[in-house]
Structure 1
Amino acid sequence: MTELCEIPLERLRSPDDDYEEFYYHWVDVRQTYWLRRPGLVDKLIAAIETSNPEVAHSVPRDLLQRLLYPPINLFCNFVRKNEEGFGPALAEALALSLSTRVAAIQGQARRAAPAVLLRRTHRSTHRS
């Protein structure tokens, strides 16, 4: 983990700069925490501010709010040693992640269902 955290952010940046800035701030937060570098709070604030849907405009709002922001919020509660806020933040992050993943699986199943039905129909008509 330490070796991964020592990779400079500049090296992680996409040459095309296709990623929103908050991704790099979030990586910086975790590197700073793990390596016990100074400036954690300021970096966490930057990650929170840049993960706002009004700032990270190229990322779908639903993706930000359901999957990307909750771990940042959870980590914020962890760093602040906010025991009262950590449990609800964890529960919310898990619930949002689960519901998002279930919806994705159901969407895949719905898209695959017509193809499965078509194959079954095709097989049954050729068996006669």
Structure 2
Amino acid sequence: MTPGTLAAMASTLLNICIDSSDNYALVTWWSEVFGLPLDPDNKPGEEETWIELPNGTTIIFNRVPEPKAVKNRVHICLQPDIPRDEEVERLLGRGATLVGDLREPDGTGWAVLADPEGNEFCVLRSAAERAATEG
């Protein structure tokens, strides 16, 4: 394959789907995480709810009957606008749980949290924190 053909075969991430037993409660929780208003078309009892991120990517929450049973094979990584540790505390206060603490004494690393239904996600350092240690 030549470099010119690579672009013609590229894909764009359109959406990410997350299974949920109460997708309306979960979309409401994640809308608060992202600081985005809940789309008025999202209603309790619907099979599918969603959040559209400012970059055009949509996170879809599908209602399923079975509970989460094992570790996620795919997860979301968040880069907060505020310092990482402040964001971790904010999310813990909103009902997230700490699954793994991979933060290092020098300020690097990340925290693995789970949403109210147990879906894991990471909270990375903010852009300002990264710039302060990488420059």
TM-score bracket, shorter-length normalisation: under 0.3
Which structure is higher in RCO with an 8 Å CA cutoff and minimum separation 6?
2
Provide TM-score, normalisation by structure 2. 0.23
Q: Which has the larger radius of gyration?
A: 1
Provide TM-score, normalisation by structure 1. 0.24
Hey, which of these two has a bigger chunk of helix by percent? 1
Hey, which of these two has a bigger chunk of strand by percent? 2
